[in-house]
Amino acid sequence: MNRHLTLILVFLFAIVLTSCNQTEKYRTIKLAHGLDINHSVHKAMIKMGEDLKKLSKGKMLLEIYPNQQLGTERQCLELLQIGSLDMTKVSAGVMENFAPKMKIFGLPFLFRDREHSFQVLDGAIGKQLLDDGEKYWLKGLGYYDAGSRSFYTKEKSINSPEDLAGMKIRVMESVTAMDMVRSLGGSPTPISWGELYTSLQQGVVDGAENNPPSFYLSRHYEVCKFYSLDEHTVLPDVLIMGTQIWNRLSEEERTWIQEAVDSSVKYQRILWAEAEEEALAEVQKAGVKVTRPDKTLFSKKVESIYEQYKDDEVMYPLIQQIQKTK
């Protein structure tokens, strides 16, 4: 009799638990990216998760998967499109393969300086480009600062475009990036970020190009002892959500997410500035020779890329709008 009573009580307790779980509704957003947990972007995402939980009073939670746990940037975008992942962060260079207008950011020497880039990204042009991804099932939410990209190499400094002649330079899977390296005299070689360290070690490529924090945190400075700050592109990171989940969210949920994103963007830009200074100091301590070549030598070499867009009725007006932005 006691045994039967115990079973009944357990059964009733299970029903109560199930009922509690059903009334305790919350949504978990899964976010994947390819960066190290010490990167400013990851730290900003941690803040985004905290803010989202606070804004939603615990109804929305953020679950973060760093270090390519769920795949490369390209693979994460594909997962977003089919609804198997909710959110990701990718470079605009990778995004251009999915939302073609994003290739505008890969154009070398497009921005005058960092402030000019922020004016564009935070303004009407930046929003237009984020919204443009929706037709490809990708909802743009905001831009993280990824600084300026420059060349780092194994054997010598890149002081002029002529120094790139015959060199194999790793680039992202970006047509614009490949065109840029080609126009400067190098041989562009697309390789995934996760495979780059080994490729540099084994001589598959002679160098790569990226921003200071990525160069430092990836430990590529252990292989490449020359970093030439020509700052050829200011290529932002883009925070993306799949439209499959975005379209299922209520207006209130969308507001919570956007507010959390906007706050994390401001926070990340502060962290980024600090990370750049630290990265350059640390790689120099490790024996890397950091140089600042004359940028005009490089910008003149890539003018032909802009000429290719003269007859493009979509891209050329966009280039002109960016150049006129103050």
Alpha-carbon distance of 70 to 217, in angstroms, equals 20
- Over residues 107-138, the pLDDT tens digits come to 999 999 899 999 999 999 999 999 999 999 99
Alpha-carbon distance of 181 to 176, in angstroms, equals 9
A 10 A CB-CB count for 63 gives: 12
A 10 A CB-CB count for 127 gives: 13
224 and 239 belong to one structural domain: no
* Domain CATH code at residue 228: 3.40.190.170
Label the pairing between strands 60-65 and 27-32.
parallel
Residue type, 273: A
pLDDT at 226 over 90: yes
**Inter-residue contact 63 to 31 (CB < 8 Å):** yes
Q: Is the pTM of this model over 0.95?
A: no
Q: Which DSSP string do the residues of 197-252 spell out, in sequence order?
A: HHHHHTTS-SEEEE-HHHHHHTTGGGT--EEEEEEEE---EEEEEEHHHHTTS-HH
Instruction: Name the DSSP class of 8.
Output: H
Mean pLDDT of the chain: 91
271 and 290 belong to one structural domain: no
Q: Under 8 Å CB-to-CB from 120, ≥6 apart: which residues?
A: 111, 126, 322, 325
26 and 9 belong to one structural domain: yes
201 and 92 belong to one structural domain: no
52 and 72 belong to one structural domain: yes
Domain that holds residue 286: 149-233+281-324
46 and 131 belong to one structural domain: yes
- Over residues 130-175, the pLDDT tens digits come to 999 999 999 999 999 999 999 999 999 999 999 999 999 999 888 8
Q: How far is CA 195 from CA 1, 201, 288, in A?
A: 65, 10, 21
196 and 312 belong to one structural domain: yes
Please report the pLDDT score of residue 175 as a whole number.
Answer: 86
A 10 A CB-CB count for 277 gives: 11
Q: Is the Cα torsion angle 286, 289, 294, 300 positive or negative in sign?
A: negative
Based on the structure, what is the number of domains in the chain? 2
- Over residues 36-50, the pLDDT tens digits come to 898 999 999 999 999
271 and 171 belong to one structural domain: no
Question: What are phi and psi for residue 38, nearest 5 degrees?
Answer: -90, -5
- Over residues 50-91, the pLDDT tens digits come to 999 999 999 999 999 999 999 999 999 999 999 999 999 999
214 and 290 belong to one structural domain: yes
Instruction: Give percent above pLDDT 90 in the chain.
Output: 82
42 and 154 belong to one structural domain: no
273 and 299 belong to one structural domain: no
87 and 101 belong to one structural domain: yes
